[in-house]
Structure 1
Amino acid sequence: MIKFGEFIRTLPVPSSLHIFKMEPLRGHAILVLDPKMVFTLIDVFLGGSGKGTYRIEGREFTAIESRLIYRVVVMILTELEKAWQPVHPVRIQYVRSEINPQFVSIVGPNDLMIMTTFGLELEHFTGMINICIPYALLEPIKNKLYSGYQRDRLAIDKSWIRRFEAGIQQAEIDLVVELGRTQLKVKDLLNLKIGDTLVLNTEANDCLIAKVQGVPKYLGHSGLYGANKAFQVKEKISLHRNG
């Protein structure tokens, strides 16, 4: 957190300052875009490479530049509103933009601000986006911010887990029972014909392994069930089973 007066003194002129409301919470907050980043974005939007150097001091944004910046601001505020939905649903409304920090006195100079900083990386430039919300604006929901959010997230996670489990239970899987193995020379394999018998490495009473999606899961015996071949499960293979 930072005092509003200290925060304002760190901003250059011109700055890209955008005031917005978070209804039904009372008060205003500020979205601050790095001015160098703003000029870089404008250059890219207008077909430039974004590699140039820009003189910022004493320069105001043109009408076209302001319109392009507004589009970026609306996109950011739209995503911010979505991000708040699991915590406390708000309706974010854009109020106005300023380039002079002295004209954004939304609270007193000694009031505390909660500042969140995001880094934006472009191909040739890295800039910062700051979202500054007065502590007084969030104070009515501070208990929800401290504890309720975690409970809400846990409830959402449990609901997702139940749906995930239900989906898994309906999924089809492959279960393969391996009767045994043997080794052949290539010439013997090429000479195989109908009626030949292959001797496997298992005896008639040996337990067979049933594999689920290629993973050994069960031991049991082969047999018949009516007119169909069958597999009777004898035991489940432990994950820690040796061999």
Structure 2
Amino acid sequence: MAEDVLSQNEIDTLLSAISSGEMDADELKQEETEQQVRVYDFKRALRFSKDQIRNLARIHENFARSLTTYISAQLRTYVDISVASVDQIPYEEFISSIPKMTILNVFSMKPLDGRILMEINPNIAYAMLDRQLGGRGGSINKVDNLTEIESMLMSQLFEKSSTCLYEAWSSIVDIDPILEDFEVNPQFLQLVSPNETVIVVSLNITVGETSGMINLCIPHIILEPIIPKLSLHHWMQSNTHEQDSESYEKISATLEETGIEAKALLGETTISVSQLLHLHKDDVIALDKSINEPLQLQINNQPKFSVQAGKSKNKMAVQVLEEFQGGDNDE
């Protein structure tokens, strides 16, 4: 750790102040000790850095866009979903912050250990259900007495949203999200211990004229194996590599289908306008190329290869002898 170096004048001034009683050496020691002490709440253990939180936010911004497209298609109405916040809190705090009766979907994330929880606010969940059953998407909170048919329709809707999770997480890890459980009472779910740190991704969702929240609860045990991939360096490196590879493939595919003009130059000569006007049938024009010399194959009017003329399957053809050397066309 770097230390500040005092000049001789500063040292003399400090010693003078201590000698005259203007400053107390014991107070200086106490202040230094107080600056080194930081308050730490073990119930709110912070296991993720700010960079990792930001990268998780980026991942779930992609998830929000995919989920918007999926739910819009399913409900055939206006849907808007966006990331509101990404926080790390104890699991107990998350459970106490959601309604006592709500819509809970539990997804396994193979090959990662553990499960994640998707909580949908009852108002927005019933608006989605009402829209599925042909209504206008009105919000009526009756989640505490859902029928079996209503529960099945809701679970099927969110079961298919696992594809959105797969696409969003594919930038860091390949997963196979599967809906394992559908519940309405959070007290019946115990994903991890109460003090375990979880990431809570809150999404704002609007369905028609109804607005609400969707919360994703991701335990630390799931993210632990992929924490290194959440760093800014890895994120930028992987994204750059993917972009470079994708760009290379697109450019290569485009170039392969691009048409070019290839022509073999038999020779050249110069004649006057008068000679051109007096040309007749069977006249011979002498070129500057000997019959024993190779011809020049031009690609888009640029010399590229030395070739010799011939036939292939009764068609005029040229055989490439070597790459053309000379002039400014070596490239």
1:164 positional shift: 3.5
What per-residue deviation string (whole Å, max 9, x for no partner) do you get for residues 18-42 of structure 1?
Answer: 1111111111210111111111111
CA deviation string 1:78-100 (max 9, x = no partner): 21012212211111122111111
- Which secondary structure does the structure 1 equivalent of 2:129 belong to? helix
Indicate if the aligned counterparts of 2:202 and 2:213 stay in contact, CA closer than 8 A. Answer: yes
Say whether the 8 Å CA contact 1:31–1:132 is kept in structure 2: yes
- Work out whether residues 14 and 60 of structure 1, in 8 Å CA contact, stay in contact via their aligned partners in 2: no
Equivalent residue number for residue 223 of structure 1 = none
Query: Does 2:229 match 1:144?
Result: yes
* CA–CA separation in structure 2 for the residues paired with 1:70 and 1:133: 19
State the alpha-carbon separation in 2 of the partners of residues 129 and 113 from structure 1: 16
Matches within 5 A, 1:60-75: 60-75=145-160
Q: 2:175 and 2:104 mapped to 1: Cα distance?
A: 21
Q: 1:24 aligned to 2:111?
A: yes
Say which of 78, 93, 103 aligns to 1:6. Answer: 93
Q: What is the letter of the counterpart of residue 41 of structure 1?
A: M
Aligned partner of 1:165 among 251, 266, 269: 251
Q: Distance in 2 between matches of 1:88 and 1:82?
A: 10
Bigger Rg, structure 1 or 2 = 2
Shift of 1:17: 0.7
Q: How many residues align?
A: 171
2:145 counterpart SS class: coil
Query: Which structure has more helix as a fraction of its residues?
Result: 2
Code of the residue aligned with 1:164 in structure 2: it is K
The change in CA–CA distance for 1:168 and 1:91 in structure 2 (over 3 A counts) is closer
Give the unaligned 5+ runs of structure 2: 1-87, 260-331
CA distance in 2, matches of 1:102, 1:5: 11
Equivalent residue for 1:112? 197
- Look up the match of 2:219: 134
Offset from partner CA, 1:27-86 (integer Å, 9 cap, x none)? 1210111111111111111111123x41447x2221111111112211222210122122
TM-score by length of 2: 0.48
Shift of 1:171: 5.1
Q: CA deviation at 1:8?
A: 0.4
Match of 1:227 in 2: none
Contact 1:114 1:132 in 2 (8 A): yes
The structure with the greater share of residues assigned to strand is 1
The CA distance in 2 between the partners of 1:137 and 1:164, in whole Å, is 35
Q: Which residue matches 1:224?
A: none
Deviations 1:152-176 (A, max 9, x none): 221110012223333555557xxxx
CA distance in 2, matches of 1:27, 1:67: 24
Alpha-carbon RMSD across the aligned residues, in angstroms, is: 2.0
Q: Are residue 89 (structure 1) and residue 174 (structure 2) matched?
A: yes
SS at the partner of 1:64? helix
Runs of at least 5 residues in structure 1 that lack an aligned partner in the other structure:
173-243
Residues 103, 159 of structure 1: alpha-carbon distance in 2 compared, 3 angstrom cutoff: same
Note the alpha carbon deviations across 1:6-25, whole angstroms, 9 max, x for none. Answer: 11011113110111111111
**Does structure 1 retain, via aligned residues, the 8 Å contact 2:203–2:213?**
yes
Distance (whole Å) between structure 1 residues aligned to residue 188 and residue 165 of structure 2:
24
For 2:126, the equivalent position in structure 1 comes to 39
Aligned partners of 2:199 and 2:217 also within 8 Å: yes
* Alpha-carbon contact 2:124-2:207 (below 8 Å) kept: no
1:54 aligns with 2:140: yes
SS of equivalent residue, structure 2 residue 118: strand
